[in-house]
């Protein structure tokens, strides 16, 4: 199978359960680039909590928690070379700690 020349860049959202019945937690957001067949691709997301957020990068892996996938939308495309450059840029996006209202949704927004 030949790799595509252009990759879609998507924002994906996942359900994270409920604090109580009918009180869902905020959606988890991530940036995902499909690089292979099926649900294989590169995932860029934050892990941890407000005191220790860190970027988690998974390359050429199946999309985790796909059964909790709420949805996704394409925000652009990149070539293979641009994907390499995008990975460097994503490592440099600021991660804010100890501000209760800042989370992975803000990180994805800042990254875009």
Q: Identify whether 91 is part of a domain.
A: yes
Q: Identify whether 60 is part of a domain.
A: yes
Average pLDDT over residues 49-58: 95
What are the pLDDT digits (tens) for 54-100?
Answer: 999 999 999 888 788 899 999 999 999 999 999 999 999 999 999 99
Q: Identify whether 90 is part of a domain.
A: yes
Domain assignment of residue 79, given as a range: 6-111
Q: What is the pTM of this model?
A: 0.88
CB neighbour list of residue 109: distance below 8 Å, 6 or more residues apart: none
Predicted confidence band of residue 3 (pLDDT cuts 50, 70, 90): low
> Structurally, how many domains does the chain consist of?
1
Q: Identify whether 48 is part of a domain.
A: yes
User: What pLDDT score does 24 carry?
Assistant: 73
Q: Which of 87, 56, 66, 54 is nearest to 13 (CA)?
A: 66
Q: Using CA atoms, how far apart are residues 78 and 109, in angstroms rounded to an integer?
A: 18
Q: Using CA atoms, how far apart are residues 58 and 43, in angstroms rounded to an integer?
A: 5
Q: Identify whether 98 is part of a domain.
A: yes
Q: Identify whether 1 is part of a domain.
A: no
């Amino acid at each position: 199978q030949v790799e595509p020349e252009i990759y879609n860049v998507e924002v994906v959202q996942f359900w994270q359960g409920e604090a109580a019945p009918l009180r869902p937690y905020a959606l988890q957001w991530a940036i995902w680039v499909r690089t292979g067949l099926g649900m294989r691709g590169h995932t860029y997301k934050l892990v941890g909590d407000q005191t220790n957020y860190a970027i988690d990068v998974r390359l050429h892996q199946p999309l985790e928690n796909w059964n909790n996938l709420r949805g996704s939308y394409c925000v652009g495309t990149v070539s293979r070379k641009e994907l390499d450059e995008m990975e460097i840029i994503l490592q440099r996006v600021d991660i804010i700690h100890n501000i209760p209202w800042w989370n992975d949704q803000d990180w994805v927004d800042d990254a875009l």
